[in-house]
Amino acid sequence: MRCPMNRLNRRTFIKTGIGAGGVVVFGAAIRRGDRAASVKNFVASDDESLFDVWLKISPDNTVTAIIPHAEMGQGVHTSLAMMLADELDADWSSITVQEAPAISEYANYALARGYTIGDTEFPAWLIDSVNGFYFQATRMIGVQQTGGSLSVRTTGQIAMRTIGAAARSVLLQAAADEMQVPVGDLVAKNSVITHPATARTATYAQLAPAAAKKTIPDKPTLKDSSAFRVMGTSPQRLDVPAKVDGSAKYGIDAALPNMKYAAIKGAPVFGGKVRSVDESSIQDMPGIRKVISLGDAVAVIADGYWQAHQAIGRLKIEFSGGASGHNQSGIFEQFSIDLDRSAVAHNVQVDFLAGDSLKALARATTSVAAEYRVPFLAHSTMEPMNCTAWIHDGKCELWLGTQDPLGFARKTARAISFDSDDVIVHNQYLGGGFGRRSLSDYAEQTARIAVQVHYPVKLIWSREEDTRHDHYRQACISRFRGGLDGEGNATAWHNHYANRHEPWRASRIPYAIDNQRIVHSISRTQVPWGIWRSTDHSLHAFFTESFIDELANAAGRDSYQYRRDLLTGAPRFRAVLDLAARKAGWDEPLPKYYGRGISIHKSFGTIVAQVAEVEVRDGNPRVHRVVCAVDAGFAIHPDGLIAQMESGIAYGLTAALHGEISIHQGAVEQSNFHDYPMLRMNEAPAIETFIINSGESLGGAGEPGTPPIAPAVTNAIFDATGIRIRELPIRKNNLRNEQHHDGL
Amino acid sequence: MLRLNINGALHNIDVDPETPLLWVIRDCAGLTGTKYGCGMALCGACTVHLDGAPIRSCVTPASAAIGRTITTIEGINKGRDGLHPVQQAWIDEQVPQCGYCQSGQIMSAAALLEHNAAPTDTEIDTAMAGNICRCGTYPRIRKGIKRAALAINALADDAVSDE
């Protein structure tokens, strides 16, 4: 039996070294310090993970960026490589990217495996030091995870740019030595250093061995944005070619000699257990190798996936226990009762207080009250959960797509009582992440199956399993009371909702309302929770941006102007709102049956405003156009930011129009795309995105496009029909309002 | 033993003939560009061409392909110099994000353009509504199809003027 120590070595260092064959490596390995609440679920345990970035200069003058983040379509490999290349003044066309291997001894592993040419071992370090700047940087960086829209903001801004600038600095010093000229007389561009006065040149590859002997500067000077050559442009994404010819390898594409296939069925009721398995029910089926009970799920291993899939469908399994009394209506009832009780008992958790909202409500000329609710949501990545595990020679090798390779290694190790150093994660392209692939259940299951056999096993969840055994965006009820003075100005904002996850600021509003009371109560359910693209922002933007619209309507004011007036002290928000309204032609007339809605929300450091144009005819909404304005501080890759806005809008629009996971007798009712429908081409709106480079701190890109779309659409439906939607998905609401269109 | 023509190559495959073509293509022929998404012909990730027509391989028994021509994403540019115009348009418009659905999207788009060289938006909607993309690349898919249509028509014009 192995000792489950889950040991990771603690190191903080910057190193530079010359490898066999003249490859020069610059690296900053950064120990994680404090971490934001928004990433804590990616972190396996408290103080041990390593965070590495490396760049490699090869004798042919190519530069390789080794990137500790997973590519799941957000273009992160490209964006991070751009940040490094720009500070390095490297030739973009000669940049390649490698994803960092996911093991605790990453540094040594990378060097031993990645930088050894032939049989030669990598030589001893030339420089091995710790310095204050990098150590400081660790406090702002997560571990080797991808989520929270953080990659560009942290890894890119702090680590990739820094190591690029540091490497450039020592390359310049090496050139100055060699050419016997001051550093200030040299120009670095396209991986070549030139001394213009004498027209002498040297490539980075020529200078790298000497540069590697220099001490890397503590605080390399980063470029001002006016000097960017690569950042702010939109080169083609590095991962795209492999994604148009079928050659991109995802977790599900792993293939190993003698590999078998597994299908699985988990207890349908959350918390349920396997009571019995009748293997005789499948004994006549061909290709079956083994039936394995994991306690809360049963797997069948077969020679082919189809055989395993058919067998798991026919296998007689009895499950028992779990929260089988749970029903969706009961869950909402529970939220309501808990909100009532906690309000009466003044037993609430405070998100934000300002002024005296109760007094202001009492004094208000007009008061408005509304209750909103949203359902549970599944992630539904296009690639269902899957993992291939091979346990051999005391090691567990995993092939899969994950947003958190190191965390998966640690958790999988724990599940099979291995040392985490003995779990090797081979991360593949992710067929969608959205937060789902930060949860390691599928890897742990596969490893627990694979420890029972002597061959590699590929476990593929059916779409039904994927839908019913997700970790869900929470359902929620949120209640509001608002007060207006005699002129219709908002004086009170009172919000009480059920269950906060993260980030804690999601319920906050940007509006200058003097008296605010934003609180929540706890009302837990048995339904497992997971990070879902934009986390709590996905619901709070719908709540707050609907309610501000209700206040505008109660005041008899234009919903754009009403918001704008409340953003006087928030110029950055106002600029984004104005841009969206202007580009949308806010005041221009619309055809019959059309409405226009606006919303604005800040998440992950990025402000996004959207204007939706919706046609409602015969009770059916059709979103024709979305205008999106975004301020992420600075767009490193503008086309990538636009793509992420388009993507975030589609993800949020799917949820707004269709998304509902409901619970019946403790189990998820939905199973596949017929009862958990997705946005399709015929429903996809035209999207126009406009970017503001405000120069503020970098914000995220992957998530902030999602939150504003639901309220933009429901506000537009209100504009078109007079029907206020307070429950998502929209299809649960009757949008036939004959009266409103009378006379049109 | 099934004898299947996939991308012009003959494969002798020992498998239950009722096995969906998807798993035969992926696991027996080793062509993993074709993806599993739903198993119920609901998402289009498994789209391949059977005698040139787009089908959902996840619900098509392998036996249905005997004596016919199967084309997958790996073979769509066969006989061309370089990429298929749809593949090139996908790069030019930077369509893919996670990319998982894109083999199916490209197969559906190529089939559409094969018999309709200038599809309207409505025709694109109809032809592509069976292919789900969770990354929401629909606006770029639409642009990609239009760009590919122009390229295909330009090639056709060149062919005519060469005669």
Phi, psi torsion values for A108, nearest 5 degrees: -65, -40
Q: How far apart are CA A727 and CA A723, in angstroms?
A: 12
Q: What is the pLDDT of residue A407?
A: 83
pLDDT greater than 60 at residue B158 = yes
Where residue A143 falls among pLDDT bands split at 50, 70, 90?
A: very low
Question: Is A312 in CB contact (< 8 Å) with chain B?
Answer: no
Task: Indicate the residue type of A131.
Answer: N
A574-596: average pLDDT: 98
Q: What is the pLDDT of residue A218?
A: 59
Determine, yes or no, domain membership for A559.
Answer: yes
Q: Do B32 and A249 touch (CB under 8 A)?
A: yes
**Cβ-Cβ contacts under 8 Å, B128 against chain A:** 680-682
Tell me chain A's radius of gyration from C-alpha atoms: 28
Summarize pLDDT for B118-145 with one digit per residue, the tens: 999 999 999 999 999 999 999 999 999 9
Summarize pLDDT for B21-74 with one digit per residue, the tens: 999 999 999 999 999 999 999 999 999 999 999 999 999 999 999 999 999 999
**Cβ-Cβ contacts under 8 Å, A462 against chain B:** 39
Q: Do A246 and B32 touch (CB under 8 A)?
A: yes
Nearest CA to A332 out of A499, A89, A134, A172 is that of: A499
CA angle A335, A341, A347 (to 5 degrees): 105
Q: What is the pLDDT of residue A25?
A: 59
Q: Are residues A135 and A164 in the same domain?
A: yes
3-state SS of A628-676?
Answer: EEEECCCCCCHHHHHHHHHHHHHHHHHHHHCCCECEECCEECCCCCCCC
Question: Is A456 in CB contact (< 8 Å) with chain B?
Answer: no
**Cβ-Cβ contacts under 8 Å, A75 against chain B:** 97
Note the Cα A424 to chain centre separation in Å. Answer: 23
Q: Cβ distance B95 to B141 under 8 Å?
A: yes
Where residue A135 falls among pLDDT bands split at 50, 70, 90?
A: very low
Mutate to test the interface with B, among A234, A252, A382, A399 (most CBs of B within 10 A): A382
Summarize pLDDT for A648-682 with one digit per residue, the tens: 999 999 999 999 999 999 999 999 999 999 999 99
Q: What is the pLDDT of residue A158?
A: 67
Q: Are residues A520 and A664 in the same domain?
A: yes
Determine, yes or no, domain membership for A529.
Answer: yes
* Total-model pTM: 0.90
Q: Cβ distance B112 to B123 under 8 Å?
A: yes
To 10 degrees, the CA torsion angle through A730, A736, A739, A744? 90
Phi, psi torsion values for A463, nearest 5 degrees: -55, -35
Q: How far apart are CA A663 and CA A654, in angstroms?
A: 19
Q: Which residues 548-567 in chain A show a CB within 8 A of chain B?
A: none
Determine, yes or no, domain membership for A465.
Answer: no
Q: What is the pLDDT of residue A272?
A: 96
Q: How far apart are CA A81 and CA A441, in angstroms?
A: 31
Q: Do A246 and B136 touch (CB under 8 A)?
A: no
To 10 degrees, the CA torsion angle through B50, B53, B57, B61? -50
Question: Is A284 in CB contact (< 8 Å) with chain B?
Answer: no
CA distances from A201 to A172, A189, A193 (A): 11, 11, 6
Closest Cα in chain B, distance from residue A672 (Å): 7
Higher pLDDT, A720 or A43: A720
Q: Do B133 and A682 touch (CB under 8 A)?
A: no
**Cβ-Cβ contacts under 8 Å, B136 against chain A:** 646-651, 653-654, 679, 684
Summarize pLDDT for A248-301 with one digit per residue, the tens: 999 999 999 999 999 999 999 999 999 999 999 999 999 999 999 999 999 999
Of B19, B135, B139, the CB nearest to A686: B139
Mutate to test the interface with A, among B23, B97, B124, B133 (most CBs of A within 10 A): B97
Question: Is A256 in CB contact (< 8 Å) with chain B?
Answer: no
> In A375-421, where does DSSP find H-type helix?
405-415
Q: Are residues A310 and A182 in the same domain?
A: no
Q: Cβ distance A220 to A165 under 8 Å?
A: yes
A599-603: average pLDDT: 97
Q: What is the pLDDT of residue A120?
A: 25
Answer with the one of A171, A205, A235 that is the final residue of a domain: A235
Nearest CA to A485 out of A551, A538, A421 is that of: A551
Q: Estimate the crossing angle of helix B121-128 against helix B102-115, to 10 degrees.
A: 130
Q: Which CATH superfamily is domain B2-74 in?
A: Beta-grasp domain (3.10.20.30)
Give me chain A's average pLDDT, please. Answer: 85
Q: Are strands A606-617 and A620-631 parallel, antiparallel or unpaired?
A: antiparallel
Q: Cβ distance A498 to A339 under 8 Å?
A: yes
Lowest pLDDT segment from A204-213, A358-367, A452-461, A609-618: A204-213
Q: How far apart are CA A36 and CA A149, in angstroms?
A: 12
pLDDT greater than 80 at residue A146 = no
Q: What is the pLDDT of residue A123?
A: 28
Q: Which residues contact A119 (CB under 8 A, 6 or more apart)?
A: none
Instruction: Give the residue numbers spanning the domain of A271.
Output: 251-322+402-460
Give the CATH number, domain containing residue A438: 3.90.1170
Give the total residue count for chain B. 163
Determine, yes or no, domain membership for A392.
Answer: no
Q: Which residues contact A6 (CB under 8 A, 6 or more apart)?
A: A44, A45, A410, A413, A414, A419, A420
Q: Cβ distance A296 to A317 under 8 Å?
A: no
CA angle A454, A458, A459 (to 5 degrees): 115
CA distances from A215 to A20, A130, A504, A569, A603 (A): 21, 11, 42, 47, 39
Where residue A99 falls among pLDDT bands split at 50, 70, 90?
A: confident
Q: How far apart are CA B2 and CA B66, in angstroms?
A: 7
Determine, yes or no, domain membership for A143.
Answer: yes
Q: Are residues A172 and A127 in the same domain?
A: yes
Which of helix, strand or coil describes residue B71? strand
Q: Are residues A450 and A533 in the same domain?
A: no
Residues paired with A293 in a beta bridge: A298
Determine, yes or no, domain membership for A703.
Answer: yes
Quick one: what percent of chain B has pLDDT higher than 90? 91
Q: What is the DSSP string of A344-361?
A: HTT--EEEEEES-HHHHH
Determine, yes or no, domain membership for A613.
Answer: yes
Q: Cβ distance B67 to B121 under 8 Å?
A: no
Q: How far apart are CA A502 and CA A45, in angstroms?
A: 19
Where residue B159 falls among pLDDT bands split at 50, 70, 90?
A: confident
Which chain A residue's Cα is nearest to B129? A681
Q: How far apart are CA A159 and CA A157, in angstroms?
A: 6
Q: Cβ distance A625 to A613 under 8 Å?
A: yes
Sheet-wide strand order for A620-631: A594-603, A606-617, A620-631, A686-692
Determine, yes or no, domain membership for A390.
Answer: no
Q: Which residues contact A134 (CB under 8 A, 6 or more apart)?
A: A12, A14, A28, A30, A162
DSSP A110: I
Higher pLDDT, A9 or A598: A598
Q: How far apart are CA A528 and CA A370, in angstroms?
A: 28
pLDDT greater than 60 at residue A43 = no
Closest Cα in chain A, distance from residue B135 (Å): 5
Q: Are residues A488 and A448 in the same domain?
A: no
Q: Do A681 and B142 touch (CB under 8 A)?
A: yes
**Cβ-Cβ contacts under 8 Å, B96 against chain A:** 73, 239-240, 243-244
Of B20, B23, B98, the CB nearest to A382: B98
Q: Which residues contact A281 (CB under 8 A, 6 or more apart)?
A: A314, A315, A316
Note the Cα A521 to chain centre separation in Å. Answer: 26
Where residue A154 falls among pLDDT bands split at 50, 70, 90?
A: low
Residue ranges per domain, chain B?
A: 2-74, 85-162
Summarize pLDDT for A439-488 with one digit per residue, the tens: 999 999 999 999 999 999 999 999 999 999 999 999 999 999 999 999 99
Which chain B residue's Cα is nearest to A235? B94
Answer with the one of A235, A266, A298 that is the final residue of a domain: A235
Q: What is the pLDDT of residue A76?
A: 83
Quick count: other Cβ atoms within 10 Å of Cβ A486? 8
Q: How far apart are CA A470 and CA A603, in angstroms?
A: 24
Quick one: what percent of chain A has pLDDT higher than 90? 72
Closest Cα in chain B, distance from residue A663 (Å): 21
Summarize pLDDT for B71-121 with one digit per residue, the tens: 999 999 998 989 999 999 999 999 999 999 999 999 999 999 999 999 999
Q: What is the pLDDT of residue A28?
A: 44
| Complex ipTM | 0.97
Q: How far apart are CA B3 and CA B63, in angstroms?
A: 9
**Cβ-Cβ contacts under 8 Å, A434 against chain B:** 134
Q: What is the pLDDT of residue A26?
A: 61
Q: How far apart are CA A413 and CA A85, in angstroms?
A: 36
Q: Cβ distance A236 to A75 under 8 Å?
A: no
Q: Which residues contact A321 (CB under 8 A, 6 or more apart)?
A: A267, A269, A271, A272, A273
User: Between chain A and chain B, how many beta carbons pairs sit less than 8 Å apart?
Assistant: 183
Architecture of domain B85-162: Orthogonal Bundle (1.10)
Summarize pLDDT for A396-409 with one digit per residue, the tens: 999 999 988 878 98
Of A253, A463, A674, the CB nearest to B37: A463
Q: Are residues A280 and A423 in the same domain?
A: yes
Q: What is the pLDDT of residue A74?
A: 75
Q: Do B132 and A237 touch (CB under 8 A)?
A: no
User: What is the number of structural domains in chain A?
Assistant: 3
Q: Rounded to a whole number, what is the distance in angstroms from the first to the last CA of chain B?
A: 46
A701-705: average pLDDT: 94
Q: Do B83 and A245 touch (CB under 8 A)?
A: yes
Q: Which residues 63-102 in chain A show a CB within 8 A of chain B?
A: 72-75
Q: Is-same-fold flag (B2-74; B85-162)?
A: no
Give the CATH number, domain containing residue A725: 3.30.365.10
Q: Which residues contact A362 (CB under 8 A, 6 or more apart)?
A: none
Which chain B residue's Cα is nearest to A465? B38
**Cβ-Cβ contacts under 8 Å, B108 against chain A:** none
Of A73, A252, A682, the CB nearest to B97: A73
pLDDT greater than 70 at residue A303 = yes
